[in-house]
Structure 1
Amino acid sequence: MQTLDPITATPEGALSSPAARRNADPILTVLRAHLPARGRVLELAAGSGEHAVAFATALPDLKWTPSDPSIEARTSIEAWRRTGPANLQPALALDAVDPETWPEAPFDALYCANMTHISPWPATEGLMTFAGRALRRPGGLLALYGPYREADRPLAPSNAAFDESLKARNPAWGLRDRETVQALAGSHGLVATLRIQMPANNLMLLFRRV
């Protein structure tokens, strides 16, 4: 499970991090305003599952399916799910770079947090290819959360230091250019519709299927 956050285990075996707890409410505020009232939502790179259980609980009319390529992450998700709401589905072993793992069913929305910078660029390419296929209905939503570089705005010192630390861990990691991500999305039929400033110099980027 790719994460830079300190992780602790609950007595039930679920993993938890202060960062996930801290940013859950601001993210939920955005998702609540832009997700459909009903439908199927797939969360990619769900990590520990702490967001999945929080969002599924808050949005009971959405069928929320978490996914992660990591066995450790899926084990934690299942531990959260045992005490979670009925609309929280079992985790899928989805790997953005492996089309063989991509589910066939269409989704009304996709949500992905903190993946593009803690993975090689082919993972973002796979994410966009998959999103173009999975969001079959016009207006289908892709929501990306995390830090990005922006050509028209100076990079916050904390994000610059974070970018350096990521690249020190893995040269293939690092903050992505928002404009490059948006262009990639556009090549798969996904139009950037909203940029929302989030706490701690993060962004929520919303894309819609055309």
Structure 2
Amino acid sequence: MLPLVASGRQVGSCLITFAAEHAFSREDRTLYSAFADLLAQSLERARLYDTHHHRAGELQRAMLPRTPPRLPGIACAARYLPSTEGMRIGGDRYDLLKLPDGRIGLVIGDVQGHNAEATAVMCELRSGLRAYATDGHDPAATLTRTSRLPAELDTEPFATRLYLTLDPADGGLTAARAGHPAPVRIAADVTAVELELPPVP
């Protein structure tokens, strides 16, 4: 029976059994003690990773919209599916904004990485974009102003963003994108067309 000790505390125990009586040599004791140390460190790292992963996931879930806002004359739905299997956290974000002039803002973006830093940067960018958008700025001006935030935050991860505004009165779209893939419009007959929207820094 070996105690598993990491960071000065016991994190578990390891029981090694044999089918028959076994006499331990000095080499056996050294080997099993080294094995117990490695196992304890691995357990501690796994627990720390799980805690970190859980907290970052909670933060991201808190920052993504729970349900889209009710907008007159507009039916909308959102579903978040990470593109990488097993990755439930990161800098992915989307939003639907009810703008003061009756238009609707649609936002999608991604911050590099799948960790708490990416999630925190996403939160900052989301807040900044919402503030500039609801102030009445068009998509290009909103993205230009928001793009200054990562430099001010002194963060390493880069971000891509796409921001569209829809005027429900005439169906007109105004859009800008900063490094993000182009948007796709799907018509009633399920025809998908990629909208031509050149990326800008």
> What TM-score results when the alignment is normalised by the length of structure 2?
0.30
> What TM-score results when the alignment is normalised by the length of structure 1?
0.29
Higher Cα Rg: structure 1 or 2? 2
